[in-house]
Amino acid sequence: MPESVASFVLAIHGGAGVIERDQLSAEDAAAIHADLQAALDAGGKVLANGGSALDAVQTAVVALEESPRFNAGKGAVYTADGAHELDASVMEGHTRRAGAVAGARTVRNPVVLARAVMEHSSHVLLMGEGAERFADTREDIERVDNDWFDTETRHAQLRQEQLREREQAASLKGAYFGTVGAVALDLHGHLAAATSTGGMTNKRFGRVGDSPLIGAGNWADERVAVSGTGWGEFFIRCAVAHDIAARMAYGSATLEAAADAVVMQAVPALGGDGGAIAVDAQGNIALPFNTSGMYRGWIARDGSRGTAIFRD
Ligand code: ASP
């Protein structure tokens, strides 16, 4: 691991899924690009000032949680009971420290609580009532009523999903997702990943997806940092984030080959879909997705940056 690297790298996502070009208005697309740019600006500033990858991914994810356009924090999807239950995680590569929360209901920025679990508890993952009680002990965790997360768009998605379910339409495959995440390489050569989500529309019975599960929807070690988005059950069964890291560690795969093998082959082979963002210790970025679109943005090691929705 180098003592320092010449430049920093940041990649973010705002979820993968079926995003149809003709159903996304130019206005909405512009607003999404602007929110992705704002998250890149926020995280990029931390890195440019010599801050840690961990601080940068948290900062970028908080910016995305605050946007109602993504399925995390404000704008999170609804459970079958018409409420919001939020999952988030963070992991720091060189220390392998990790923190996560599942089923949080009153925490405005779940990624901040995940970080607090990592730094101020002896545990990795706190769920539901326990996560709320832990949040009660922390003055730095902002609380809101559960309906603060409401948006009309997500409520319409719940109604549509419940209708689909009543009509027993075939599958959730390709349903619109919208989880957020960030991965970063800082000027000290350290990696970190963060992921935050409302989960999947109409989820029930304490369902927990891949996003707060270390190794499934989020991972960072000394080689690579990964954040996933997609149909969480398949991401758990494929241990997506850790599988990408393992292919690099044990099979000497390049970042691109490892990320492609998992996202483009292993997940769809089981019947799942989604995407991932990843950055390695050399500053390479991979942003594969097997859906029609993935909201994403990046600042590359040469300083170039961009945001994108579709494949082109
Ligand atoms: N992976 C998330 C989950 O299953 C959903 C998403 O990525 O939008 O909870």
User: In this predicted model, what pLDDT tens digit does every residue of 73-126 receive, in sequence order?
Assistant: 999 999 999 999 999 999 999 999 999 999 999 999 999 999 999 999 999 999
Pick the residue whose CA is nearest to atom 9 on ligand 1: 199
**Ligand 1 atom closest to residue 71's alpha carbon, by position in its atom list:** 8
Full residue range of the structural domain in which residue 131 is found: 9-308
Q: What is the 211 CA–ligand 1 centroid distance (Å)?
A: 6
pLDDT band at 289 (very low <50, low <70, confident <90, very high): very high
Identify whether 4 is part of a domain.
no
pLDDT band at 3 (very low <50, low <70, confident <90, very high): low
pLDDT band at 23 (very low <50, low <70, confident <90, very high): confident
Mutate to test the pocket of ligand 1, among 69, 210, 233 (most ligand atoms within 8 A of CB): 210
pLDDT band at 1 (very low <50, low <70, confident <90, very high): very low
pLDDT confidence of residue 169? 65
**Ligand 1 atom closest to residue 232's alpha carbon, by position in its atom list:** 4
> Which tokens hold the place of 242?
């850790």
pLDDT confidence of residue 17? 83
Pick the residue whose CA is nearest to atom 7 on ligand 1: 229
The stretch 10-34 carries a mean pLDDT of: 91
pLDDT band at 188 (very low <50, low <70, confident <90, very high): very high
Mutate to test the pocket of ligand 1, among 64, 84, 177, 289 (most ligand atoms within 8 A of CB): 177
Identify whether 156 is part of a domain.
yes
Identify whether 18 is part of a domain.
yes
Q: What is the 218 CA–ligand 1 centroid distance (Å)?
A: 11
Percent of the chain with pLDDT strictly greater than 70: 96
Pick the residue whose CA is nearest to atom 4 on ligand 1: 232
Q: What is the 52 CA–ligand 1 centroid distance (Å)?
A: 26
Q: What is the 50 CA–ligand 1 centroid distance (Å)?
A: 31
- The pTM is what? 0.96
User: Which CATH number do you get for residue 172?
Assistant: 3.60.20.30
pLDDT confidence of residue 285? 98
pLDDT band at 4 (very low <50, low <70, confident <90, very high): low
Task: List active site positions.
Answer: 179
Identify whether 112 is part of a domain.
yes
Number of domains in the chain: 1
Identify whether 1 is part of a domain.
no
